[in-house]
Chain A
Amino acid sequence: MMKLSPGDKVLQVFIYLLLLLLGFITLYPFWNSLVISFNTGSDTALGGITFWPRSPTFDNYMVVFRDDRISQAFLISILRTVVGTVLSVLFTAVLAYGLSRQELMGRKFYMVFCVITMYFSGGLIPTFLLMREFGMMDTFWVLVIPGLISVYNMIIFRTFFLGLPAGLAESARIDGCNHIGVLVRIILPISGPVVATLSLFTAVGHWNDWFSASIYINNPDLIPIQTLLKQILNSNIVTDQLLQAIGSSAAAQDRLALMQSVTSKSLIMATTMVATLPIIMVYPFLQKYFVKGVLIGSLKE
C-alpha cells in the first residue's frame, strides 16, 4: 500500500463525501420507485411516499406476474441478450482488430465506410422491407442479427486495441500465430475491461429494446419481456390520451373503471422494476474485470 500524504488524505475525505452525496442522489429516485412499486396504488395517489412503503402490498407485482406469458418472455429476453451479446461482441471485436492493424490496406476507406452508417440511415420502412425479404419477420433472429455489428462499439474496441503496445501482437506473429490467434490468445485476454464494458453496453441495449419486437414480431411466443411489459402496462392503466379520447364518451367509462382498480403510478414502477432489476444485476458481476492492474507490462517484455 502506498503511503498517503496529508494533502492526499484531505483529498480522500473530500472524494468519499462527494461520492456519497452522488450515490444518494442517484440511488434515491430508484429506491423511491422500488418503494412505490410495493405500495398500494390508491395510497400512492395521495403522495408523500419517500423511503418506505406506507401501505405495503404485492398487488402491483401480481398484476404483472399473473400474465402467463411472462416466463416465456423472460426466456426470450435472456436468450436474445446472451446470444446477441456474445455474437455481437465477438464479431465487432474481429472487425475492430482488423481495422486497428496499421498495415491493413484500405483502412481509411473502411473506417469512413463504417462511420457513415452512424449518421445516414434509410429509415424504418426500407429496413423493414429488407427484413421481410430476408424472411426474418416473426423469427427470433430478427432480434439478434441486425445488431451483430455495432460501429460505435467497434470504434471503442479499436481505440483500446490501438492503445496496446504494438510489440505484443508482433511477437506472437513471429511465434507463428495468425491474426485470429493473436486476437483470441493475446489481445482479448488482456482486454478484459473493454470487453466487459462493451458486453454490458450491448447486453443493456438488447435487454431494453422493446421497439424492434413490436415492429417485427407478432407471434406472442417470441415477444421479449420489455415489449410484453409495455403491453401489460397499456392494458392496465388509464393514460391521458385515453382519457382525452374517450373522456366525452360516457359509456366508455366502464372501461375506465375496469382499468382503474390498480392506479397507474405504482404499476408503472412495478413494471419498471421487473424490467430493469435483472439487467442491473449484471454490472456488479462484471466489475471484477475492472479491477486495476492488467499486467500488460509483464507481457510486454
Chain B
Amino acid sequence: MEIERRALNQAKGSSVTWWFRWFRQWDIQLMVLPALLFIFIFSYLPMYGVLMAFQDYQLFGGFFNSPWVGFKHFEAFFNSPDFWTVMRNTIVISLLKLCIGFPAPILLALLLNEVRNMMFKRVIQTVSYLPHFLSWVIVGGFVGSMLSTDNGSVNMLLMNLHLTSEPISFLSVPEYFWGILVGTGIWKEMGFAAIVYLAAIAGIDPHLYEAASIDGAGRFKQIQLITLPCIRPVIIIFMILAVGNILNAGFEDILILATNPILRDVSDVIDTYVYRMGILNNRYSYAAAAGLFKAVVSVGLLAIANRAARKMGSSLW
C-alpha cells in the first residue's frame, strides 16, 4: 500500500515533498538506518556466496577461480531419485511440528498463567525450560535408553501392563518415528518457547480481567475472551515465521534419533539429505544449491503467509 502511494506521489512529480517529508522524520530514519547498514555489511556483503550454487566451487581455487556451471547442481538435486521422498518427509514432519509443536508452548503458557501459587509457577516455569539446555546427544541417549528393548522403561511398563508380549524396538519402526521425533522436540523446546508467550500474557492489562470477572466470566471464558485475543498478534507473527520455516524440518534431532537406516524412507529430510550427499563429501556447491532452493521457497511461503495474516490484522511488513 505504502509503496503504491509513494509511487503515486512520485508520479505526480512531488518528489520534493517526498524528500521534505523524509527530512522531517530524520530522527526515526536515524534510528533505523545505522542498523540497516550494519545488516548490509554483515549479511548482504557476504551474500555473494549464494552464487556458489551456480559454480563448481573449488575450495582451493576460491570463489573467483571456480568454474560456472549454471543449474547443474539444482538439476542433480531435483533429479535425484530420492527427491520426492525427501520433500514429502520434509513437509509432513514440518506440518506435524507446526500443528502439534506450535500450539504446545502456547498451551503451556496459558496453563502457567492459571497457576495462583507464585512459587509453584516459578519452579515449573524454570524446570520446563531445562531440557532446552541438554544437547541432542544427551537427549538422544535418554530417548534411546527409555525406548530400548533391553530394560527400557517404556517397554518394561508395556510388558508389565501386558499391553505387549515382546519388547518393541520403537526407534526401528518407521510407523513410530514421526511421533517420537515430534514428541521429543516438543518436550525439549516447549518450555523455552513458552517464555515469549508468557511475556505477552504478562503485558495484558489486569483491569481487563477484573472487568470480565465482574461480568461473571469464568476462567475458561476469560482465556477465550481476553488472554487469547491479547496475545493474538504474537501468535500470528510466530505462525508466519513458522510457515516460512516449513522446509527446515529438522536436522540434528533427526540425525540423532534416526540412527537405523531402515527409517530412511520416513526420516530423510532436505537438510539431512544434503548433509549426506553434499557436506560430508565437500560438495559445497551442491549444498549451496539446496540451500538456495530452500531460501527461495521459504521466502515465497513467508510472503503468502504474510498476505494471509494481513487479513487478520497483523503482518511482518
**Contact status A101-B28, CB under 8 Å:** yes
Taking the complex as formed, is A97 at the interface, i.e. its CB lies under 8 A from any CB of chain B? yes
**Contact status B203-A111, CB under 8 Å:** no
Query: How far is A116 from B44 in the complex, measured between Cα atoms in Å?
Result: 9
Taking CB as reference atom, which chain A residue is nearest B232? Answer: A163
Contact A98 to B44, CB < 8 A, known contacts A33-B134, A109-B3, A197-B199: no
Of residues 10 through 68 on chain A, the ones whose CB sits less than 8 Å from some CB of chain B are 11-12, 15-16, 18-20, 22-23, 25-27, 29-30, 32-33, 47
Which of the residues A114, A191, A287, A294 comes within 8 Å of B122, measured between beta carbons?
Answer: A287
Taking CB as reference atom, which chain B residue is nearest A194? Answer: B199
Query: How far is A155 from B130 in the complex, measured between Cα atoms in Å?
Result: 25
Give the distance to chain A from B115, nearest Cβ to Cβ, in Å: 7
Of residues 115 through 136 on chain A, the ones whose CB sits less than 8 Å from some CB of chain B are 115-123, 125-127, 129-130
Which of the residues B32, B130, B203 comes within 8 Å of A98, measured between beta carbons?
Answer: B32
Which segment, of A71-79, A241-249, A255-263, A275-283, faces chain B?
Answer: A275-283
Interface centre among B6, B49, B133, by most chain A C-beta atoms within 10 angstroms, is B133
Interface residues on B, range: 35 or more
Taking the complex as formed, is A148 at the interface, i.e. its CB lies under 8 A from any CB of chain B? yes
Per-residue 0/1 for B95-126: is the Cβ within 8 Å of any A Cβ (1 yes, 0 no)?
Answer: 00000000000001001111110001011111
Per-residue 0/1 for B234-251: is the Cβ within 8 Å of any A Cβ (1 yes, 0 no)?
Answer: 100100010010000000
Taking the complex as formed, is A99 at the interface, i.e. its CB lies under 8 A from any CB of chain B? yes
Of residues 161 through 183 on chain A, the ones whose CB sits less than 8 Å from some CB of chain B are 162-163, 178-180, 183
Taking the complex as formed, is B92 at the interface, i.e. its CB lies under 8 A from any CB of chain A? no
**Contact status B299-A29, CB under 8 Å:** no
**Contact status A95-B31, CB under 8 Å:** yes
Q: Which residues of B contact A162 (CB under 8 A)?
A: 233, 314
Query: How far is A109 from B131 in the complex, measured between Cα atoms in Å?
Result: 38
Per-residue 0/1 for A203-224: is the Cβ within 8 Å of any B Cβ (1 yes, 0 no)?
Answer: 0100010000000000000000
Query: How far is A12 from B108 in the complex, measured between Cα atoms in Å?
Result: 14
Which of the residues B36, B123, B203, B237 comes within 8 Å of A23, measured between beta carbons?
Answer: B123
**Contact status B203-A2, CB under 8 Å:** no
Taking CB as reference atom, which chain A residue is nearest B57? Answer: A125
Taking CB as reference atom, which chain B residue is nearest A6? Answer: B218
Q: Which residues of A contact B219 (CB under 8 A)?
A: 4, 8, 11
Taking CB as reference atom, which chain B residue is nearest A19? Answer: B124
Which segment, of B166-174, B190-198, B261-269, faces chain A?
Answer: B190-198
Q: Which residues of A contact B294 (CB under 8 A)?
A: 119
Per-residue 0/1 for B124-145: is the Cβ within 8 Å of any A Cβ (1 yes, 0 no)?
Answer: 1111111111110111011000
Taking the complex as formed, is B47 at the interface, i.e. its CB lies under 8 A from any CB of chain A? yes
Which of the residues A8, A94, A120, A126 comes within 8 Å of B35, measured between beta carbons?
Answer: A94
Taking CB as reference atom, which chain B residue is nearest A299? Answer: B205
Query: How far is A23 from B204 in the complex, measured between Cα atoms in Å?
Result: 26
Give the distance to chain A from B136, nearest Cβ to Cβ, in Å: 12
Q: Which residues of B contact A265 (CB under 8 A)?
A: 141
Of residues 288 through 303 on chain B, the ones whose CB sits less than 8 Å from some CB of chain A are 288, 291-292, 294-295, 298-299, 302
Query: How far is A26 from B126 in the complex, measured between Cα atoms in Å?
Result: 10
Interface centre among A7, A103, A178, A287, by most chain B C-beta atoms within 10 angstroms, is A287
Contact A105 to B6, CB < 8 A, known contacts A130-B42, A295-B205: yes
How many chain A residues touch B (CB < 8 A): the figure is: 99
Q: Which residues of B contact A191 (CB under 8 A)?
A: 203
Contact A125 to B133, CB < 8 A, known contacts A16-B120, A146-B42: no
Q: Which residues of B contact A95 (CB under 8 A)?
A: 31-32, 35-36
**Contact status A8-B218, CB under 8 Å:** yes
Taking the complex as formed, is A91 at the interface, i.e. its CB lies under 8 A from any CB of chain B? yes
Per-residue 0/1 for B202-220: is the Cβ within 8 Å of any A Cβ (1 yes, 0 no)?
Answer: 1111110110010000111
Taking CB as reference atom, which chain B residue is nearest A22? Answer: B128
Taking the complex as formed, is B52 at the interface, i.e. its CB lies under 8 A from any CB of chain A? yes
**Contact status A272-B134, CB under 8 Å:** yes
Query: How far is A20 from B52 in the complex, measured between Cα atoms in Å?
Result: 51
Q: Which residues of A contact B49 (CB under 8 A)?
A: 121-123, 125-127
Which of the residues B47, B130, B288 comes within 8 Å of A30, measured between beta carbons?
Answer: B130
**Contact status B39-A33, CB under 8 Å:** no
Give the distance to chain A from B137, nearest Cβ to Cβ, in Å: 8
Which of the residues B38, B47, B205, B302 comes within 8 Å of A148, measured between beta carbons?
Answer: B38
Taking the complex as formed, is A5 at the interface, i.e. its CB lies under 8 A from any CB of chain B? yes
Query: How far is A130 from B206 in the complex, measured between Cα atoms in Å?
Result: 49
**Contact status A15-B317, CB under 8 Å:** no
Interface centre among B50, B203, B284, by most chain A C-beta atoms within 10 angstroms, is B203
On A, residues with C-beta under 8 Å from B are 2, 4-5, 7-8, 11-12, 15-16, 18-20, 22-23, 25-27, 29-30, 32-33, 47, 91-92, 94-95, 97-99, 101, 103-105, 107-123, 125-127, 129-130, 146, 148-149, 151-152, 155-156, 159-160, 162-163, 178-180, 183, 191-194, 196-197, 200-201, 204, 208, 265, 268-269, 272, 276, 279-280, 283-284, 287, 289-297
Q: Which 3 residue pairs are nearest across A and B when measured between Cβ atoms?
A: A122-B49, A122-B46, A111-B317
On B, residues with C-beta under 8 Å from A are 2-3, 6, 18, 21-22, 25, 27-29, 31-32, 35-36, 38-39, 41-50, 52, 63, 108, 111-116, 120, 122-135, 137-139, 141-142, 151, 187, 191, 195-196, 198-207, 209-210, 213, 218-220, 230, 233-234, 237, 241, 244, 284, 288, 291-292, 294-295, 298-299, 302, 314, 316-317
The 8 sampled A-B contact pairs (Cβ below 8 Å) are A8-B220, A19-B124, A23-B127, A94-B31, A95-B32, A123-B52, A123-B288, A193-B202
